Amino acid sequence: MLGQSSINSCILCSIQQDLKISESNNFCVLYDPYPLLPGHIMIVSKSHYGCAGEVPEDIFQELLIVKNVSEELVVKEYGCSSSYEHGRAGSCMPGEKEDNCQHFHLHILPLKGDINVNLPKIHFEKYIDVKDLFLSYGSYLFIENYKKDKFFYMAKDHNIPTHYVRSCISDYMNKSERSDWSKYQDDGLFEKSLSQLPRSIWKDYDIFR
């Protein structure tokens, strides 16, 4: 349900406190518990929206600020940042129903490369335009590369595998063993995220409480 405060079956409606980096009024920044590489974080909505396209316009500006600050901090530490989202297409939960992971979460990670997927795509300029694209074309994959080129991949009529974008990134890095987070769990990567992106650096920004 759009904007529902929580859904019992949704893992992102009950956030583990040890993963939380910081929060604004409507969004949390989390360490990805199974990072593709050090510095892999996520932005998650507190209310249950299925994707960025469903985030209400009156809080989208807040999302933009949280996104910009988080990317700025990743770039400051690692020199680059990219981001991606499964916009109601595929799932991050292998072996589970898609609906269980249809809760908006944007992945941000220090990846320098052009990740492409084999779907029709639209290049667009402003992140908020994902709302209109979602209304026009339905489910999607979103990828923003380190050059800040944004792409909306139309996925409505395609069967998107679970953790598909993660798999594409893993293949690009020649680390295909990291594609399925449930099978590849390297605590060393997570610990590096904790030390290299400490929670304290988010406290300098007014958007975070």
Mind listing the pLDDT tens digit of every residue in the chain (209 residues)? Answer: 345 555 556 777 777 788 999 999 999 999 999 999 999 999 999 988 999 999 999 999 999 999 999 999 999 999 999 999 999 886 655 444 544 467 899 999 999 988 878 899 999 999 999 999 999 999 999 999 999 999 999 998 788 888 899 999 999 999 999 988 888 878 799 999 999 999 999 988 988 86
In CATH, what number does 11-197 get? 3.30.428.10
The ranges assigned to domains in the chain are 11-197
Please tell me the number of Cα atoms within 13 Å of 62 on its side-chain side: 20
How do strand 121-124 and strand 82-87 relate by DSSP bridges? unpaired
Joined together, the tokens standing for residue 148 give 């800040």
CB 2 within 8 A of CB 54: yes
Distances (CA, A) of 25 to 13, 29, 58, 108: 15, 11, 12, 20
Helix (H) or strand (E) holding 194: helix 187-196
pTM above 0.75, yes or no: yes
